[in-house]
Amino acid sequence: MTTFLDPHLSMVRPVTPRTPQGCEDCLRMGSPWVHLRLCLTCGHVGCCDSSPMRHARAHAATDGHPIVQSLEPGEDWRWCFVHEAMV
């Protein structure tokens, strides 16, 4: 898997998941999710692009926080929504 030095990595902060039990927005709406993504700028937990509501991508677009990390057990990767690339 190829990664590159993304300029958005400067936005990464030490974060704690705000809702480790699930997607923050899906929990509020009562909507299902498939996989979880953690915003590495603010700790927002959103659902993946395979989920019906795609809250992680929506959060990146509306809040300007493009870097997420998988919250799935056994996964250790980060993604930049702006560059559509692993970082």
Sketch out the chain's domains with CATH numbers.
Answer: 17-86 (3.30.40.10)
Residues of the chain with pLDDT under 50: none
Residues facing residue 70 across a β-bridge: 37
DSSP summary character for residue 67: E
Q: What is the pLDDT of residue 5?
A: 86
What was the pLDDT predicted at 33? 98
Q: Output the pTM of the full model.
A: 0.94
CB-based contact 80:65 (threshold 8 Å): no
Q: Is the dihedral of CA 42, 8, 51, 76 positive or negative?
A: negative
